[in-house]
Amino acid sequence: MTTALTLRIATRSSPLAQHQAQWVGEQLSQHHPTLKYTLVPILTEADQHTASLSSCGGKGVFVKAIQQAVLDGHADITVHSAKDMPSSDTPGLSLACVPQRSACHDVCVAQQPLAELPPQSRIGTSSPRRADLLKQHYAHLTTIPIRGNVQTRIEQWQSGHVDGLILAAAGLMRLGLTDTIIEHLDPKQFIPSAGQGTLAIECRSDDDITEQYLKPLNDSITQAALTAERACMRALGGHCHAPIAAYAYGDTALTLTAWVGNGPALYAEQTQTLETAESLGFAVAETLNQQDAQTRLLKP
């Protein structure tokens, strides 16, 4: 670190991202009372566009500039929403810490639960996964592409641009906006995105001092779940606008459920030990590939 006891935390400039980075800084201060921290907000390419994620470079646009700040020595750690990260590690960086997972599931923000909304009600989401799952479980609804931070999306719902939203529960909880939630969606039916509800903290792979500071925040069960989910995504491949999900859960053992849309739903599920999380991810992906998931995922 540039300054011995001041940790520089690179984060997106959105309110949710800064809230998450602030939380990490506070947790570090509790474990290391002499440690100070400062936020380094960075406007990423994704924050500057309102087009779909796939058209502006895929999910990596949320993290590349933040990671580069650490690689260039302008910051010491990154704090990401793990669901925004590519499934492969970035050379020069270590995924050093995965704090305990928050709520992993999706929620509905609307005047009524999804099943009770009138036919053709417009549900705002920019996620191919959410759009495909809505089509599968709530065929009477229609989806409307919508982007922007959490507050912007809620404002669009309040203004009548859409009749409802599907959002991550964790983001609303972290921002104190749970009063907008009308329905919590079962993650075993409405399967979450890989890494949803999880924070991922990176540092330079040669920065042993910072890595030691981060260790007390790491949760081994959440780390194993994220390892399995990312391994599954990595083995499946596909592109950034493919409807795909992976959700790992458990304590003494780890169960991973993965789903692929873009047609009749494909599912696979296995249980292994926490220690074999990566091989669990590969095994579930292989089961899906035996169902021809690769062909499905490569569809435009």
Which positions are catalytic? 84
Residue 41, φ and ψ in degrees, nearest 5: -70, 135
Buried b / exposed e across 230-260, counting CB within 10 Å, b at 16+? Answer: bbbbbbbebebbbbbbbbbbbeeebbbbbbb
> Are 116 and 47 a contacting pair, CB within 8 Å?
no
Q: Angle, nearest 10°, between helix axes 277-290 and 220-236? A: 30
173 close to 201: Cβ distance less than 8 angstroms: no
DSSP structure string for 61-102: GGTHHHHHHHHTTS-SEEEEEGGGS-SSPPTTEEEEE-PPP-
For residue 178, list its beta bridge partners: none
Phi, psi of 72, rounded to the nearest 5 degrees: -85, -5
Q: Give the C-alpha separation, 266 to 264, whole Å.
A: 7
Residue whose pair of structure tokens reads 């100070």 in the numeric block: 36
Distance CA 89, CA 202 (A): 10
User: Quick check: 108 and 181 in contact, CB under 8 A?
Assistant: yes
* Burial group, residue 25, by CB count within 10 angstroms (0-12, 13-18, 19+): buried
**In contact, 296 and 288? CB cutoff 8 Å:** no
CB atoms within 10 A of CB 30: 11
